[in-house]
Homo-oligomer: A and B are copies of this chain.
């Protein structure tokens, strides 16, 4: 199964996530207060959720139905609604 056509975008997200983890490492090494570290971890959670949503959306478009190109209107609408639901529930 060919994978997503836009890996550069995803690789950039993963690289940013690694940068966020390195910030947590520095904060731990510098004995930063818990609150500061927990905020850094909260933003990592948000970034992981964003990566998850993007991957699932890519999967829907490439392997199930791409609303922009699917000639079956009902299925295209179903895929559009599905992508909206995935954003609601996983962000």
When distances are taken between beta carbons in the complex, the residues of chain B under 8 Å from A17 are 21
Chain A contacts with B in 1-41, Cβ cutoff 8 A: 1-4, 7, 10-11, 14-15, 17-18, 21-22, 24-25, 28-29, 31-35, 37-39, 41
When distances are taken between beta carbons in the complex, the residues of chain B under 8 Å from A90 are 89-90
Q: How far is the CA of A76 from the CA of B15 in the complex (A)?
A: 33
Instruction: Say yes or no: B3 contacts A37, CB within 8 Å.
Output: yes
* Chain copies in the assembled complex: 4
Q: How far is the CA of A69 from the CA of B63 in the complex (A)?
A: 16
Closest chain-B Cβ to A66's Cβ sits at a distance in Å of 11
Q: How far is the CA of A32 from the CA of B64 in the complex (A)?
A: 17
Instruction: Say yes or no: A59 contacts B45, CB within 8 Å.
Output: no
